[in-house]
């Protein structure tokens, strides 16, 4: 996915902009449900995803180095939202 985004012209700075927009949107949507724990969880998940994508975009061979992180992120993505937000 990171390699494909690089082909679309996505640069390193775009990941920071999208991350900030995602966190702001979640904060607005969750209201009082936006706790420090929820913020930390979403920040961590996005940072992991962005890191993997940046690595793949910069060095296609590096994508394999992130396989454990990919499995962890996939596991979180499959959890029901209510369980993630607890």
Locate the domains of the chain by residue range. Answer: 2-84
Rounded CA separation 33/19 (Å): 19
The CATH fold of domain 2-84? Globin-like (1.10.490)
pLDDT in tens, 15-41: 889 999 999 999 999 999 999 999 999
Strand (E) or helix (H) holding 7: helix 2-7
pLDDT of residue 43: 94
What's the pTM? Answer: 0.64
| Residue 62 in this model has a pLDDT that exceeds 80 | no
């Amino acid at each position: 996915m990171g390699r494909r985004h690089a082909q679309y012209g996505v640069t390193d700075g775009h990941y920071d902009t999208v991350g900030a927009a995602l966190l702001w949107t979640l904060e607005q949507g969750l209201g009082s449900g936006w706790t420090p724990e929820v913020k930390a969880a979403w920040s961590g998940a996005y940072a992991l995803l962005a890191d993997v994508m940046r690595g793949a975009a910069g060095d296609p061979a590096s994508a394999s180095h992130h396989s454990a992180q990919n499995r962890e992120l996939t596991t979180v993505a499959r959890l029901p939202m209510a369980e993630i937000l607890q």
